[in-house]
Structure formats: structure tokens, C-alpha cells
Structure 1
Amino acid sequence: MQPTILDGVLEALRIGVGFLWTAAWAIIMGLTVTSLVQVYVSKERMAKVLGDGDIAGVTKATVFGAASSGCSFGAVAIGKGLFKKGAHTVNFLAFMFASTNLIVELGLMILILLGWEFLLAELLGGLVLIAVMAVIVHLTLPENLFDEVRDTLNERDRESGVTEDPTCGMEGKQEYSLTTDGGERLQFCSEGCMETYLQETSSSGGWRDELLSWGGWYRVGNQYRKEWSMIWKDVIAGFLISGFVIVFVPQWVWNALFIQGDGLLVTAENAVMGVAIAVLSFVGSMGNVPFAVALWGGGISFAGVIAFVYADLITIPVLNVYRKYYGWQIMLYILGVFFVTMAFTGFLMELLFNALGIVPNLAGGETATDQTYFELNYTFYLNLIAFALSGFLLYVYRRGLGAPGQYRDPVCGMRTDDSGPAATHDDETYYFCSQTCEKTFEEKPGEYATGHPMEMDGHNH
């Protein structure tokens, strides 16, 4: 019987969802570790640390990036904040590389879906990437151009009254603002970041004490929720697209794009083409790992696949963000430097792995279509544990256990105190975390008014 389009779609969904099921525990565990690091590793003012483009500065930028979030857009926004505060060009680019290539959740996903050889190439290659990029930038940097753009950025933000979120470096918004005890007015990019700031100022004791209190876990829960909100679209898109690519892209397409055979020229062409496909694929950060599985299954060389995985910082949507931040010239400069760096590093990794005899054997593996994904094995039990952990963190956050502030915002459920926006309805005063929630309440007070604005359960005194 001839397979129909519907059969193909169902098979593509089976593979895409199967990949997601296989990697779910790794993503959840990785994001939990990232959230713990984000909450409990103190981030001293990075701009001071990242001022010089020397080896120490690049090393610190790499370490800070690896301990940071894994969303391409988040990395670019934080990079912009560091750049504006005076970080050397090499350092803010190194930070972006590390925070999209050397993070826990990405490493676990690569290990599960592609194997240990790719993980080794990702980690080793991530460091080589940063070194190669640093050399290229030091040789080619149009110094004045970056200084001018930095001045223009700062000037533009001053004129338009843009302030930076003190927790993440992204652009603060008027509706998420508060005044500190010292009279300073701070603006935040989101409720989550404003809450993170409130938690940091109200928390006391070391991380061990914090993790023995509800307040500490509440902070981790809030950070975990923020991490997911940044990457979930990329992750789901990457898994679903990979299923469709595996089922619907015929082998001749891969053979036409990627030269087959041996030799330096083949390796180089595959590496360049891997980066080129990444630029056009629109899938960022962790979503490009399942896509890489589809490329690997299409018979593309090791260099091509690993160069593709590196290249999430130059997809078209991310390039557009560079253009908005820095203008066309710097966008093209970053594209050029990153493209050369990523293709060259992919090329280098294949040569090195060939020399060591550890390039994985594609023919020996099962294809995505042959695999069964849903069975009672270690993946099932690890996913159960991971979903339970995820549920626990989100429960602690939603219940507001240990959150700062004795009032609960009736609109979003966040804890707040009496210093924020307030509104009265039926002789009860309600307090809000932001002007946005206050406006929403005032439009439909009957829907949100509970008559119990004060909730003390779980609050740590």
C-alpha cells in the first residue's frame, strides 16, 4: 500500500514528539541546574570584570556565559548590556558563545540525541570557537566603529529614557518599576525579573540556609519559570521541524547540498554549508539539536553537523536583533566573524576527531524511523522524576510559598507588599505587582476580587 501524506505527517509527529520525550528529563534537569546557578552564584558587576580583551577577561566571560541562560535572544540582550557598560568586544561575543554553547541543558540534550562524541566536540569546540573568534576580532576589529556604536547606544537610551533591568540587563519597562528605600527608581523587563530583584533584596543567609527555606525554593521556582518562558518556543519548534525534515526531505536534497566523500575540501564544504543552513533555519538555541539529528541522518559529515549546532547566534531572527541594536555595519561584522569562526571550528573538530579515530560511525546507528521512543526504560523513569521536580518548582512558585510581601496580586498571583500600585473594590484594598495588573483589575474588578487580599501562608518572617 502506498504511504499517504497523512501517514508521513503522523510519522513526522511521532519522531518529533519521540525526540522531545527522549530529551525531556535532560532539558528539565539542565534548566533546574541553570536556575540554581542563576539564583545562587553571585554575579558581581560584570562590566568591571569584562573590561579588557585579554585572556583573563575572555576566560571570565566564558565562565559567566556558561553559567547563564541558554536562550539566543537572552544571550544577545545580556551581551548588549555588557557591551554598553564598556565590556570589550571580544568579551561580550565570548559571553554570547558560551551562554548558547557551553550550558548544561544543551550538553545533556546533545549527549542523548547525538552521542558523547558530539558532546565532546561541542564542549571542546565551544572553547576553540571562543579562541578563534578572539584572534579574528583582535586582527580585524574596527575599534572606532564599536566605540561609536556604544556611544550612540548609550545616547539613544538616555534620550528615550531607557533604563536597564538590574537583574538581567535587558530593557526595563515603565509598568514594572519600583522605588528602592534609597529613593532610586528601578525598571524591570518583566514581572519575573522584578520579583527576582525583590527576592534578592529580601533574602538573607547563604545558599545552604536559603535551600532549607521555602523562600529559597520560591526563588528557584521563579527563575525556572523564566528560563522556560525564554526557550519553550525554540525547543518545541526544533523538535517538530526535525520530525518533518527527517520524513519529508528526500536524500537527494542532502546529497546536492553537501558534497559526499573524503578529503579536506569535502569537510570544509560541509562545515560551511552546515552554518549556512543554520542561518536560514530560524531555529535557535536548544531547538537546533534535534534538527542536527535530521542532518546527521541525511548523511552530512561530522563537521557539517557540529558547525550547524554552533551557529544558533546567526539565525535570521537573531541577526535582525543585532541590526536593531547595533546597526547594519556591526551586524554584518558579527555575521562575518561568527560564520568564519563556526565553519572553521567545525572543520577543525572533524580533522581532530579523525586523527583520534573517534568520529562516530553513522551507518552503525538506528535511523529515527526505526526507533521506538515510548517504552518502559530509563528514559521513562527519569522523565517521571523530572516532571515531578518541574511540578514541585511550579507549585512552590504558584502558591507563593516563602515569597516576599504579605499581599497577593489578585490578577497574576504574585506576592507583593503595600508599596506597589493599589486599588479599592467593595471596601477592600488590593495590591499589585505592576501597573499592568492594576489596569487589568480595574477593567474587570468583579472577576479578580476575592475579598481576601492578604495572604500570609508560607511567608517567611
Structure 2
Amino acid sequence: MIGTILETVGEGLYLAGDFLWQALWALLLGFMISGAIQAFVSKEGMVNYMGEPDLKSVLYAMGFGTASTSCSFGDIAATKTLFKKGAHIIPTVAFKIASTNFVIGLTFVIWALLGWEFAVAQAVGAPIFILIAIVLVHLWIPYEETRQARERLLKEEQPVVTDPVCKMRLNRENGIPVEHKNETVYFCSEGCKRLFEQNPGTHTTSWKEKITSWNGWVEAANQTKKDLKMLWKELAIGFLLAGVIAAAVPQTVWTLLFEGGGAGVTQVAYNSVLGPLISVATFVGSMGNVPLAAVLWGSGFAFAGVIAFLYADLIVPQLIRIYRKIWGKKIGTRISIILFVSMATTGFIVYYLFAAVGLIPDIALEPTGEGVTILGFEPVTILNVLFLLVGVVFIALLMRGRKGAPGDRAVEDPVTGTKVTVKNADYCTVHDESIYYFESDDSRAQFQESPEAYL
């Protein structure tokens, strides 16, 4: 008995590692994209492209999603960033669905393991999925509550801000707020605020300047680290549970499930609902659900159910938990229900679309194959090695840190002569259009009483 349990646990751990290996490159790419968005893209840019609940914003969101990764875990970080920076909930949801189901990489994996019919069906169903979901979001989620959720995220995750003039770090509650290009900028004093208002351009950096600078990429690496730190527990739990459940549940259980639902339309509807439920029960997200989908298809699962299952990596328990963490319990739960209804409905619709043109394949007794190889290596191995190397570069950026950044500049307290770093200075003042930093409030008070004595 104990030997059987240990064998099952060992197999589960092996499968968990395999799931992680299959999704590793996509996870790394997703978190790196999230870090780059936070470092290089301003809130103004997000509002311009995804700030309204209209067709234009949805199309942009779908385009951004297509250019992203096929990892439901990696893209949740990017989704959170876009929403936090000003994207409306409608295009935000469209981005989340597109980034997981509207990408070329996923299409090739599905083609290799399930066949071209499934690859085409998954791509055809993606815009249907998005349309159903955004209609339900519009009808069921109050926009005012999403605005409040964004404000909560900003307060919780960005309590410390940087004065763009003196580069001093300060608590947002103690800063002087000024609206500039759809973004709130905070200042430590009226003097810094005045200098900024005289010439804002000298104190702001465009995304083009950031993306070509060392400090910009250091910031991107730092934001990537922060996102990983926030989500690593959910990811680890998800992969471990996926491996153990996949090892412990025998194929006979799946077969018994597939026999329900009767025949005809009822059976198609039953399987369309069952697909997402199996995904929730097995915890398998990202591209790790494609191999399991091949197993389900070979075990007799219906076409509609497999299609719905492929979409259902968006509602595995660890992601539902993150949705509730981002948008709050009420909105996060509603988004999870909306995604479930949308993917089940999409599986049902796609089945009848493909049945009408005779493209539903015969049930395969075995998976279609292991996929193509390049120079003897599977594509996933090449991609994992490539993005692990990119990850090493990001780690190197974190270790070396910012280079010549204004906040890293060492200055001298004019009263005591003590060396202080700009970003660590808690006190500063503006005199004759120049900024002076101090090690204590007493030192600043002495300077303000008689500046000439110390200059």
C-alpha cells in the first residue's frame, strides 16, 4: 500500500516537472513581457489603446495578446499590469483570452499532438470565446467597481513613489499629487512641484529613451522579479497538484465520465460543460493541458469537450485565486464564471460549425505524435534553453543594478557634510532653483533658517 502511494507520488512529481518543462519558456516570456510593460509603457499609452470599452480597444487587446505568450500563468501578470495601468476591464479580459488562445506557438503544439483540425478549431473559436466573454462582462460587472479595484491595486502595490524632480523616494500619502498626461505624479515639496511645472519634459523619460537605456532594462528585470515573487506560490501549488492528480486518477474514471449526457445535442452540451470542469479538477494550466487533451481525445472524449478543455486553462483553481486577488472576491468570482460559460458555449458552437462542414475528425486511439524536432531537439527544449539564457541576462541586470541613475547619486548634506544617497535621503529642499539633500530634519531646518551660511 505504502509502496503504491509512493509510486503514485513519484509519478505525480515527475508529471509536475514535465508540465512545468512544457510551460517554462512561456512562463518566462510572459513575466518578462509584464516587466517590460511596467518599465517602458506609460499609463497614458495603455489608456490610448485599451482605455475604453469599444471595438478599437478590443482589437488592440487581441493584437497585444497575439504578440504575447500562450501561457495562462505568465499572462496573468501582464493582464494585471495592463489593468492597473488603465486598461478597461473589457479589453483586459479580451487580452487575457487572446494571449492564451490566439497565439501561433500554441497552434503548433495542438497541431502536433491532436491534429490540424483541432488547431484550426481552437483558432476559429478564440474570437467567438472573446465576443461571448466581453458581452457577459459588460452585462454583469459594474464598471465603477472595476475602477475601485484598480485604485486598490495602486494603493496596495505602489505605496512608495519617486519625486521626478529630486528623485527622492516618498510615501504617496505624504506627497503632493499633480495630474500629468493621465498619470498622477507625486512631489516631496512645493519647490519640486514648481520646478516640474516650469518644464515637465526635463523630468520625464519617454519609452523610447527607457528602452534604449541600461536603467530601463534594469527596471524591467526588477518588475519581472516582483511579479514572480507575487505569483510563485500559486504556480508551484498548481503544477504539483496537476502532476499528482494526473498520476492518481485512472483512465477508467475519465471513460465513465464521457459516457454521460445521452446523445445528440444533449451529449454535445454535456461534453462542452464537462471539458472545463475536468480542467478545474486536474489543475492543468498553460500548454500543459494540450498533452492531457490528447489523452482525453484518445480515451473517447467528444470533440466539443476537448475544444472547451483547451480553453479552460483560464479557470484552473490557482488562476481563479489570482483573479480574486487582483479584482477582489466579487469581480474575480464573476470573471471566473463568465470565462467558464463562455468557453463551454464556444465548444458547443465550434462543434456544430465543424460538423456542418465535415471537419470533425475520427476519435484517435493514440495521440497523433510527439511533434517535430529541430536538429534532434524538441522545439520546447530549444525555447526553454533560449529563455533561460534570457533569464540569466535579467538576473545579471538585477545583480549589477542601476547604472548612473539620478537616485543613486551620492550628495553631501550642506550642513553636516555627511554623504547621503539621493534615493535614500528622507529630507530635501529647493533653494534658488537647486535641490539640496539632508540626513535629518534638524539639518534641513538649520539650512532653511540661513541658507547662505552653508553655500
Alignment TM-score > 0.5, same fold: yes
3-state SS, counterpart of residue 397 of structure 1: helix
**Cα distance in 2 between the residues matched to 1:381 and 1:249:** 31
Once the two structures are TM-superposed, the CA of residue 250 in structure 1 deviates from its matched residue by 1.3
**Cα distance in 2 between the residues matched to 1:117 and 1:294:** 16
Contact 2:38 2:81 in 1 (8 A): no
Aligned equivalent of 2:444: none
Aligned equivalent of 1:272: 273
Equivalent position to 1:177, from 134, 156, 161 = 161
Once the two structures are TM-superposed, the CA of residue 343 in structure 1 deviates from its matched residue by 0.2
**Cα distance in 2 between the residues matched to 1:221 and 1:97:** 25
The 5-angstrom pairing of residues 211-226 of structure 1 reads 211=212, 214-215=214-215, 217-226=217-226
Which letter does structure 2 place at the counterpart of 1:57? S
Contact 1:237 1:287 in 2 (8 A): no
Aligned residues: 382
Equivalent position to 2:208, from 206, 209, 233 = 206
**Cα distance in 1 between the residues matched to 2:388 and 2:169:** 41
Aligned equivalent of 2:339: 338
1:303 aligns with 2:304: yes
Contact 1:163 1:171 in 2 (8 A): yes
Contact 1:129 1:341 in 2 (8 A): yes
The 5-angstrom pairing of residues 52-451 of structure 1 reads 52-66=52-66, 71=73, 74=77, 77-78=80-81, 81=84, 87=88, 90-102=90-102, 118-136=118-136, 141=139, 146=142, 149=145, 153=148, 165=154, 171-174=156-159, 176-181=160-165, 187=172, 206=208, 210-211=211-212, 214-215=214-215, 217-226=217-226, 228-229=228-229, 232-259=232-259, 263-279=264-280, 292=293, 295-296=296-297, 299-315=300-316, 321-322=323-324, 325=327, 328=330, 333-354=334-355, 355=357, 357=359, 359=361, 362-365=364-367, 377-378=377-378, 380-400=381-401, 402=403, 404-405=405-406, 407=408, 417=409
1:16 aligns with 2:16: yes
1:218–1:348: structure 2 CA closer, same or farther, 3 Å change rule? same
**Cα distance in 1 between the residues matched to 2:23 and 2:143:** 43
**Cα distance in 1 between the residues matched to 2:388 and 2:326:** 38
Once the two structures are TM-superposed, the CA of residue 249 in structure 1 deviates from its matched residue by 0.4
**Cα distance in 2 between the residues matched to 1:29 and 1:148:** 32
3-state SS, counterpart of residue 44 of structure 1: helix
1:279–1:431: structure 2 CA closer, same or farther, 3 Å change rule? farther
Once the two structures are TM-superposed, the CA of residue 33 in structure 1 deviates from its matched residue by 6.0
3-state SS, counterpart of residue 365 of structure 2: helix
Contact 2:303 2:360 in 1 (8 A): no
Cα RMSD for the two superposed structures: 5.0
The structure, 1 or 2, with the larger RCO (C-alpha pairs under 8 Å, 6+ apart) is: 2
1:314–1:76: structure 2 CA closer, same or farther, 3 Å change rule? farther
Aligned equivalent of 1:439: none
Deviation by residue 1:406-433 (Cα, 9 ceiling, x = unmatched): 64xxxxxxxxx569xx9xxxx8756767
Deviation by residue 1:95-136 (Cα, 9 ceiling, x = unmatched): 443345446776677677766655544443222111123445
Once the two structures are TM-superposed, the CA of residue 228 in structure 1 deviates from its matched residue by 4.1
Contact 2:304 2:351 in 1 (8 A): yes
3-state SS, counterpart of residue 177 of structure 1: strand
1:60–1:93: structure 2 CA closer, same or farther, 3 Å change rule? same
**Cα distance in 2 between the residues matched to 1:388 and 1:75:** 21
Contact 2:65 2:96 in 1 (8 A): yes
Deviation by residue 1:280-310 (Cα, 9 ceiling, x = unmatched): 5566666655665665565433432332342
Which letter does structure 1 place at the counterpart of 2:365? A
1:276–1:25: structure 2 CA closer, same or farther, 3 Å change rule? closer
Which letter does structure 2 place at the counterpart of 1:133? A
1:289–1:91: structure 2 CA closer, same or farther, 3 Å change rule? same
Structure 2 unpaired stretches of 5+? 174-185, 187-202, 427-455
Which letter does structure 1 place at the counterpart of 2:164? T
Which letter does structure 1 place at the counterpart of 2:9? V
3-state SS, counterpart of residue 57 of structure 1: helix
Deviation by residue 1:11-63 (Cα, 9 ceiling, x = unmatched): 33333323433443454456556655665566634446556544223223433
Once the two structures are TM-superposed, the CA of residue 146 in structure 1 deviates from its matched residue by 1.6
Structure 1 unpaired stretches of 5+? 189-196, 408-416, 436-461
**Cα distance in 1 between the residues matched to 2:133 and 2:235:** 27
Larger CA Rg, structure 1 vs 2 = 2
1:124–1:402: structure 2 CA closer, same or farther, 3 Å change rule? farther
**Cα distance in 1 between the residues matched to 2:312 and 2:223:** 26
Identity %: 32
